[in-house]
Amino acid sequence: MAQIVFDHVTKIFEPDELVLDEISFQIEKGEFVFLIGKSGVGKSSILKLLSRQEEASSGRIFVEQKDISLLKRKELPYFRRKFGIVQADMRCLRDRNVYDNLLLVMRSCGVSHRGSKRRIMEALGRVGMIHMAERYPQELSVGEEARVLLARALLTEPEILLADEPTANLDPDSAWDMMNLINDVNHQGITVIASSHSVELVNIMHKRVLTLVEGMLVSDEKNAGYSSKALDIFEERRVQQLREKKKQRKKYDF
Protein backbone atom coordinates (compact mmCIF):
# COMPACT_ATOMS: atom_id res chain seq x y z
CA MET A 1 0.00 0.00 0.00
CA ALA A 2 1.17 3.54 -0.73
CA GLN A 3 2.53 5.72 2.09
CA ILE A 4 -0.35 8.17 1.74
CA VAL A 5 -3.83 7.34 0.50
CA PHE A 6 -6.76 9.73 0.08
CA ASP A 7 -9.87 7.70 -0.61
CA HIS A 8 -12.87 9.80 -1.70
CA VAL A 9 -12.12 12.50 0.83
CA THR A 10 -14.67 15.28 1.18
CA LYS A 11 -14.29 18.31 3.39
CA ILE A 12 -17.21 20.55 4.20
CA PHE A 13 -16.69 23.55 6.42
CA GLU A 14 -19.95 24.01 8.32
CA PRO A 15 -22.57 25.00 7.58
CA ASP A 16 -22.25 24.19 3.89
CA GLU A 17 -18.93 25.16 2.28
CA LEU A 18 -17.82 22.22 0.16
CA VAL A 19 -14.05 22.63 -0.05
CA LEU A 20 -12.88 19.19 -1.20
CA ASP A 21 -15.12 16.98 -3.24
CA GLU A 22 -14.32 13.25 -3.15
CA ILE A 23 -10.59 13.59 -3.63
CA SER A 24 -8.65 10.36 -4.23
CA PHE A 25 -4.92 9.93 -4.81
CA GLN A 26 -2.01 7.88 -3.57
CA ILE A 27 1.56 8.91 -2.86
CA GLU A 28 4.46 6.49 -2.54
CA LYS A 29 7.25 6.87 -0.01
CA GLY A 30 9.97 9.19 -1.36
CA GLU A 31 7.81 10.91 -3.99
CA PHE A 32 7.82 14.66 -4.62
CA VAL A 33 4.35 15.96 -5.42
CA PHE A 34 3.13 19.47 -6.14
CA LEU A 35 -0.39 20.50 -5.32
CA ILE A 36 -1.46 23.36 -7.53
CA GLY A 37 -4.60 25.38 -8.08
CA LYS A 38 -5.95 28.87 -7.54
CA SER A 39 -6.18 30.45 -4.13
CA GLY A 40 -9.06 29.03 -2.09
CA VAL A 41 -9.21 25.79 -4.05
CA GLY A 42 -8.37 23.59 -1.06
CA LYS A 43 -4.58 23.03 -1.18
CA SER A 44 -3.92 23.97 2.44
CA SER A 45 -6.96 21.95 3.48
CA ILE A 46 -5.45 18.79 1.97
CA LEU A 47 -2.20 19.34 3.86
CA LYS A 48 -4.05 20.02 7.11
CA LEU A 49 -6.23 16.91 6.72
CA LEU A 50 -3.12 14.84 6.21
CA SER A 51 -1.48 15.93 9.47
CA ARG A 52 -4.86 15.77 11.29
CA GLN A 53 -5.00 19.52 11.89
CA GLU A 54 -8.46 19.17 10.29
CA GLU A 55 -10.73 16.16 9.99
CA ALA A 56 -12.38 14.87 6.83
CA SER A 57 -16.18 15.12 6.58
CA SER A 58 -16.28 11.82 4.69
CA GLY A 59 -13.90 9.43 2.97
CA ARG A 60 -10.75 7.96 4.45
CA ILE A 61 -7.12 8.99 4.72
CA PHE A 62 -4.40 6.43 5.34
CA VAL A 63 -0.83 7.22 6.35
CA GLU A 64 1.41 4.18 6.36
CA GLN A 65 -1.60 1.87 6.23
CA LYS A 66 -3.27 3.49 9.21
CA ASP A 67 -6.69 5.13 8.91
CA ILE A 68 -5.84 8.43 10.58
CA SER A 69 -9.44 9.11 11.66
CA LEU A 70 -8.91 6.29 14.18
CA LEU A 71 -5.99 8.01 15.91
CA LYS A 72 -6.72 8.87 19.52
CA ARG A 73 -6.09 12.35 20.84
CA LYS A 74 -3.10 11.15 22.86
CA GLU A 75 -1.56 9.57 19.76
CA LEU A 76 -1.68 12.79 17.77
CA PRO A 77 1.55 14.47 18.98
CA TYR A 78 3.53 11.34 18.09
CA PHE A 79 1.70 10.99 14.75
CA ARG A 80 2.42 14.61 13.86
CA ARG A 81 6.16 14.02 14.27
CA LYS A 82 6.01 12.06 11.03
CA PHE A 83 5.52 15.42 9.35
CA GLY A 84 7.81 18.37 8.89
CA ILE A 85 5.66 21.38 8.17
CA VAL A 86 6.61 24.67 6.52
CA GLN A 87 4.03 27.31 5.76
CA ALA A 88 4.49 30.74 4.21
CA ASP A 89 3.04 32.48 7.27
CA MET A 90 5.34 30.79 9.82
CA ARG A 91 7.93 32.89 11.62
CA CYS A 92 10.71 32.31 14.14
CA LEU A 93 10.22 33.57 17.70
CA ARG A 94 11.73 37.05 17.83
CA ASP A 95 12.94 36.91 21.44
CA ARG A 96 15.63 34.28 20.91
CA ASN A 97 18.36 33.44 18.44
CA VAL A 98 18.22 30.84 15.67
CA TYR A 99 19.80 28.12 17.80
CA ASP A 100 17.38 28.67 20.67
CA ASN A 101 14.43 28.69 18.29
CA LEU A 102 15.40 25.20 17.22
CA LEU A 103 16.26 24.13 20.75
CA LEU A 104 12.67 24.76 21.74
CA VAL A 105 11.53 22.04 19.33
CA MET A 106 14.09 19.59 20.69
CA ARG A 107 12.97 20.33 24.26
CA SER A 108 9.35 19.66 23.39
CA CYS A 109 10.39 16.26 22.01
CA GLY A 110 12.40 15.48 25.15
CA VAL A 111 15.76 15.19 23.36
CA SER A 112 18.87 15.45 25.60
CA HIS A 113 21.03 18.58 25.54
CA ARG A 114 23.89 16.86 23.74
CA GLY A 115 21.60 15.13 21.25
CA SER A 116 19.88 18.44 20.61
CA LYS A 117 23.08 20.25 19.73
CA ARG A 118 24.09 17.62 17.21
CA ARG A 119 20.69 17.57 15.57
CA ILE A 120 20.37 21.35 15.46
CA MET A 121 23.79 21.82 13.85
CA GLU A 122 23.02 19.02 11.40
CA ALA A 123 19.68 20.61 10.44
CA LEU A 124 21.28 24.05 10.05
CA GLY A 125 24.00 22.45 7.94
CA ARG A 126 21.40 20.96 5.60
CA VAL A 127 20.08 24.43 4.80
CA GLY A 128 23.47 26.19 4.79
CA MET A 129 22.78 28.25 7.93
CA ILE A 130 25.28 27.02 10.52
CA HIS A 131 27.05 30.37 10.51
CA MET A 132 23.83 32.13 11.51
CA ALA A 133 23.07 30.00 14.59
CA GLU A 134 23.59 32.91 16.96
CA ARG A 135 21.72 35.52 14.98
CA TYR A 136 18.34 36.79 16.01
CA PRO A 137 15.48 36.38 13.51
CA GLN A 138 15.29 40.14 12.98
CA GLU A 139 18.90 40.01 11.71
CA LEU A 140 17.98 37.56 8.94
CA SER A 141 16.61 38.20 5.48
CA VAL A 142 13.23 36.70 4.65
CA GLY A 143 14.97 33.97 2.62
CA GLU A 144 17.35 33.15 5.47
CA GLU A 145 14.50 32.94 7.96
CA ALA A 146 12.69 30.60 5.56
CA ARG A 147 15.75 28.34 5.55
CA VAL A 148 15.81 28.29 9.34
CA LEU A 149 12.14 27.33 9.35
CA LEU A 150 12.91 24.49 6.96
CA ALA A 151 15.68 23.35 9.33
CA ARG A 152 13.17 23.53 12.18
CA ALA A 153 10.75 21.34 10.23
CA LEU A 154 13.48 18.75 9.68
CA LEU A 155 14.60 18.57 13.31
CA THR A 156 12.19 15.83 14.30
CA GLU A 157 13.50 13.69 11.42
CA PRO A 158 10.12 13.57 9.65
CA GLU A 159 9.20 11.06 6.98
CA ILE A 160 7.02 13.51 5.11
CA LEU A 161 7.57 17.21 4.42
CA LEU A 162 4.42 19.28 3.95
CA ALA A 163 5.38 22.60 2.37
CA ASP A 164 2.45 24.96 2.06
CA GLU A 165 3.38 27.70 -0.43
CA PRO A 166 7.02 27.55 0.73
CA THR A 167 8.12 30.24 -1.70
CA ALA A 168 5.14 32.58 -1.50
CA ASN A 169 6.90 35.41 0.35
CA LEU A 170 10.32 35.00 -1.23
CA ASP A 171 12.16 36.95 -3.91
CA PRO A 172 12.99 34.86 -7.01
CA ASP A 173 16.55 33.93 -5.95
CA SER A 174 15.46 32.85 -2.48
CA ALA A 175 12.55 30.96 -3.99
CA TRP A 176 14.91 28.92 -6.19
CA ASP A 177 17.16 28.32 -3.19
CA MET A 178 14.23 27.08 -1.15
CA MET A 179 13.09 24.73 -3.92
CA ASN A 180 16.64 23.45 -4.22
CA LEU A 181 16.78 22.70 -0.53
CA ILE A 182 13.42 20.99 -0.59
CA ASN A 183 14.62 18.94 -3.53
CA ASP A 184 17.72 17.91 -1.53
CA VAL A 185 15.48 16.89 1.36
CA ASN A 186 13.50 14.73 -1.04
CA HIS A 187 16.68 13.13 -2.37
CA GLN A 188 17.46 12.07 1.17
CA GLY A 189 14.34 9.92 1.05
CA ILE A 190 11.73 12.22 2.59
CA THR A 191 8.39 12.38 0.82
CA VAL A 192 7.55 15.95 -0.17
CA ILE A 193 4.13 17.44 -0.79
CA ALA A 194 4.35 21.10 -1.73
CA SER A 195 1.55 23.45 -2.63
CA SER A 196 2.37 26.27 -4.97
CA HIS A 197 0.82 28.69 -7.36
CA SER A 198 4.10 29.56 -9.06
CA VAL A 199 3.76 28.04 -12.52
CA GLU A 200 7.41 28.71 -13.35
CA LEU A 201 8.70 26.94 -10.26
CA VAL A 202 6.44 23.97 -10.69
CA ASN A 203 7.36 23.70 -14.37
CA ILE A 204 11.04 23.60 -13.82
CA MET A 205 10.98 21.12 -10.98
CA HIS A 206 9.51 18.53 -13.31
CA LYS A 207 7.71 16.57 -10.62
CA ARG A 208 4.36 14.92 -10.23
CA VAL A 209 1.64 17.58 -10.19
CA LEU A 210 -1.86 17.25 -8.74
CA THR A 211 -4.15 20.01 -9.99
CA LEU A 212 -7.20 21.14 -8.06
CA VAL A 213 -10.09 23.10 -9.53
CA GLU A 214 -13.01 24.08 -7.31
CA GLY A 215 -12.27 21.37 -4.78
CA MET A 216 -11.91 18.62 -7.37
CA LEU A 217 -8.78 16.86 -8.48
CA VAL A 218 -8.73 17.44 -12.24
CA SER A 219 -5.34 16.06 -13.18
CA ASP A 220 -2.45 14.01 -11.90
CA GLU A 221 0.60 14.27 -14.13
CA LYS A 222 4.02 12.74 -13.72
CA ASN A 223 7.09 14.84 -14.61
CA ALA A 224 4.92 17.80 -15.48
CA GLY A 225 6.13 20.93 -17.17
CA TYR A 226 9.36 22.21 -18.58
CA SER A 227 10.89 25.61 -19.18
CA SER A 228 14.49 25.93 -20.34
CA LYS A 229 15.03 29.51 -19.18
CA ALA A 230 13.90 28.64 -15.69
CA LEU A 231 16.21 25.62 -15.75
CA ASP A 232 19.24 27.90 -16.27
CA ILE A 233 18.34 29.99 -13.23
CA PHE A 234 17.64 26.88 -11.19
CA GLU A 235 21.01 25.30 -12.05
CA GLU A 236 22.85 28.55 -11.39
CA ARG A 237 21.35 28.85 -7.92
CA ARG A 238 22.02 25.18 -7.25
CA VAL A 239 25.71 25.54 -7.97
CA GLN A 240 25.94 28.71 -5.87
CA GLN A 241 24.25 26.99 -2.99
CA LEU A 242 26.53 23.95 -3.14
CA ARG A 243 29.55 26.28 -3.04
CA GLU A 244 28.20 28.16 -0.06
CA LYS A 245 27.49 24.99 1.87
CA LYS A 246 30.95 23.62 1.12
CA LYS A 247 32.56 26.82 2.32
CA GLN A 248 30.56 26.75 5.55
CA ARG A 249 31.31 23.09 6.22
CA LYS A 250 35.03 23.81 5.84
CA LYS A 251 34.94 26.85 8.07
CA TYR A 252 32.92 25.22 10.82
CA ASP A 253 34.55 21.83 10.35
CA PHE A 254 31.20 20.17 9.94
Ligand X SMILES: Nc1ncnc2c1ncn2[C@@H]1O[C@H](COP(=O)(O)OP(=O)(O)O)[C@@H](O)[C@H]1O
User: How near is the Cβ of 37 to ligand X at its closest, in Å?
Assistant: 6
Number of CB atoms found within 10 A of residue 48's CB: 18
User: How near is the Cβ of 97 to Mg ion at its closest, in Å?
Assistant: 30
Answer yes or no: are the C-beta atoms of 135 and 101 closer than 8 Å.
no
Tell me which stretch binds ligand X (CB under 6 A): 39-47, 94-102, 114-122, 175-183: 39-47
Q: Which amino acid is at 187?
A: H
- Within 8 A by CB and 6+ apart from 11, the residues are 18, 19, 20, 42, 45, 49, 54, 56, 57
Choose, by CB under 6 A, the member of 4, 9, 19, 201 that binds ligand X: 19
Query: b vs e for 68-82, b when ≥16 Cβ sit within 10 Å of the residue's Cβ?
Result: beeeeeeeeeebeeb
166 in contact with ligand X (CB under 6 A): no
39 in contact with ligand X (CB under 6 A): yes
User: How near is the Cβ of 201 to ligand X at its closest, in Å?
Assistant: 16
User: How near is the Cβ of 191 to Mg ion at its closest, in Å?
Assistant: 19
Nearer to ligand X by C-beta: 168 or 231? 168
45 in contact with ligand X (CB under 6 A): yes
65 three-class SS: coil
198 in contact with Mg ion (CB under 5 A): no
Choose, by CB under 6 A, the member of 4, 36, 42, 86 that binds ligand X: 42
| Residues of span 38-57 touching Mg ion by CB under 5 A | 43-44
- Sort 15 into a burial class: Cβ within 10 Å, 0-12 / 13-18 / 19+: exposed
Q: For residue 138, report the phi and psi dihedrals to the nearest 5 degrees.
A: -70, -10
User: How near is the Cβ of 56 to ligand X at its closest, in Å?
Assistant: 13
Binding residues for ligand X, rule: CB under 6 A, are 13, 17, 19, 37, 39-45
